[in-house]
């Protein structure tokens, strides 16, 4: 794959959505959950860690931005940065404990932490507002030297802001995934024993992946809270973790752009179907089963397959994420 293809695809999505979609909020949501799904993908698709704890970092981001913008009036970019820090710190803590275990135990630990975080958020009403969440989060304009550069009041203005952050984060994550570090993560995913035997510090690598994932997810949570104006308890629920995971899997693991596809698929389907049929999640459950059974590389894998068929190329489709030059 050409070096810039994915980046161009991401840019295309950012530019096309305002043309095709009526709701700026929905478009922003696609990018925000795209960010969260990319964070999840970095763990699942690149490191082989199935985390049910992404809702923790998403919730941490939401609460952080809500607290900093309402109680301690910090400048908004600083609040977003702080949300990334708390997301990353939360991930460091969860990761530090969870990566002591492998396989199923690891999965269950992340889920246990997700539940624990939910009950902490529910109990600590002073900080989180408990069941009500934190309300009235402002969306301050971007200013410099007293001049308003970019107001964020309308949904499409906010979309522009989210799109900019999304593209930068996408580009950075792409660079991370293609760096030596990213390639080493793939080695951990493909054969953990071997990577360990070569001498890589597995725990450190996994922890680093966790921190990056947590920071990105925290950022997504913060943007989400700014978008809807509240930091609800729902952002810390198991349901959020599950949703992020489902988007990632349906889009396809091991490819960052696929996460954006997954997010778009989930949210557009939700938007379209929930009006027609409130029980649309039934369909989603079935899609998830179908993906697990028959198309394990998700929508992206399906698209690739179709593309190759059109091109008349038969036979094995190259897995884009396997370590290149790894001939044994």
Partner 1 sequence: MNIYLLQIINGVGIGMLYFLLAVGLSIVFGLLRFVNFAHGAFYLLGAYFCFQMTRWGLSFWLALLVVPLVVGALGWLTEKLMLRHVYATAHEFHILVTVGLALAVQELVILQWGPLGDSVAVPDILQGVVMWGSFVYPKYRLFVIAFTAVLAVLLWYLLEGTRLGSAVRAGSESTEMVSLLGINVFRIFSLVFALGAATAALAGVLAAPIRGAEPFMGVEALGVAFVVVVVGGMGSFSGALLGGLLIGVVQSVMSTLWPEGARLMIYIAMATVLLLRPHGLLGRKE
Which is closer to partner 1, CB of 122 or CB of 171? 122
Single out the residue of 241, 274, 240, 245 nearest to residue 259, CA to CA.
245
d(CA 291, CA 240): 20
Shortest separation between residue 294's beta carbon and partner 1, angstroms: 9
Shortest separation between residue 293's beta carbon and partner 1, angstroms: 6
- Partners of residue 144 on adjacent β-strands: 147
Shortest separation between residue 10's beta carbon and partner 1, angstroms: 25
Which is closer to partner 1, CB of 23 or CB of 292? 292
d(CA 80, CA 162): 12
Q: What radius of gyration do the chain's Cα atoms show?
A: 20
Which is closer to partner 1, CB of 68 or CB of 253? 253
Alpha helix positions (H), 179-297: 180-190, 192-198, 202-228, 238-251, 256-276, 281-294
Shortest separation between residue 161's beta carbon and partner 1, angstroms: 33
The answer to whether 66 and 134 have CB atoms below 8 angstroms apart is yes
Shortest separation between residue 244's beta carbon and partner 1, angstroms: 12
d(CA 83, CA 222): 6
Tell me phi and psi for residue 225, to 5 degrees: -65, -40
Shortest separation between residue 112's beta carbon and partner 1, angstroms: 5
Shortest separation between residue 295's beta carbon and partner 1, angstroms: 11
Residue 79, token pair as written in the block? 């609040």
Which is closer to partner 1, CB of 121 or CB of 174? 121
Which is closer to partner 1, CB of 85 or CB of 120? 120
Single out the residue of 76, 49, 213 nearest to residue 151, CA to CA.
76
* Residue given tokens 């095709």 in the structure block: 20
The answer to whether 221 and 230 have CB atoms below 8 angstroms apart is no
Shortest separation between residue 267's beta carbon and partner 1, angstroms: 16
Which is closer to partner 1, CB of 103 or CB of 315? 103
Which is closer to partner 1, CB of 24 or CB of 55? 55
The answer to whether 121 and 59 have CB atoms below 8 angstroms apart is yes
103-123 vs 76-98: helix crossing angle, rounded to 10: 130
Which is closer to partner 1, CB of 8 or CB of 282? 282
Residues forming contacts to partner 1 in the complex (CB under 8 A) are: 44, 50, 97, 100-101, 103-105, 107-109, 111-113, 115-116, 119-120, 122-123, 238, 242, 245-246, 249, 253, 279, 281-282, 284-293, 296
């Amino acid at each position: 794959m050409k070096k810039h293809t994915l980046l161009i695809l991401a840019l295309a999505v950012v530019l096309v959505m305002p043309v095709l979609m009526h709701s700026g909020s929905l478009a922003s949501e696609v990018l925000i959950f795209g960010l969260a799904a990319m964070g999840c993908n970095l763990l699942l698709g690149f490191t082989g860690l199935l985390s049910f704890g992404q809702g923790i970092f998403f919730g941490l981001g939401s609460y952080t931005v809500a607290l900093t913008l309402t109680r301690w009036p910090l400048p908004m970019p600083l609040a977003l940065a702080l949300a990334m820090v708390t997301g990353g710190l939360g991930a460091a803590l969860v990761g530090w404990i969870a990566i002591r275990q492998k396989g199923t135990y690891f999965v269950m630990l992340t889920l246990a932490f997700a539940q624990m975080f939910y009950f902490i958020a529910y109990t600590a009403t002073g900080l989180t507002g408990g069941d009500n969440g934190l309300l009235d989060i402002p969306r301050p304009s971007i200013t410099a030297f007293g001049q308003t550069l970019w107001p964020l009041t309308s949904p499409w203005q906010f979309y522009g802001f989210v799109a900019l952050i999304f593209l930068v984060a996408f580009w950075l994550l792409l660079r991370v995934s293609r760096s030596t570090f990213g390639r080493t993560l793939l080695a951990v995913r493909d054969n953990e024993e071997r990577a360990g035997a070569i001498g890589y510090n597995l725990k450190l690598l996994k922890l680093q992946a966790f921190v990056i994932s947590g920071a990105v997810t925290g950022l997504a949570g913060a943007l989400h809270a700014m978008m809807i104006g509240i930091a609800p308890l729902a952002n810390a629920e198991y349901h959020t973790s599950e949703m992020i995971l489902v988007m990632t899997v349906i889009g396809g693991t091991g490819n960052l752009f696929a996460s954006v596809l997954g997010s778009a698929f989930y949210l557009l389907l939700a938007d379209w179907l929930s009006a027609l049929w409130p029980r649309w999640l039934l369909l989603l459950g079935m899609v998830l089963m179908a993906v697990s059974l028959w198309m394990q590389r998700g929508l992206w894998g399906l698209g690739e397959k179709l593309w190759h068929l059109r091109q008349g190329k038969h036979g094995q489709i190259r897995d884009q994420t396997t370590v290149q030059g790894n001939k044994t």
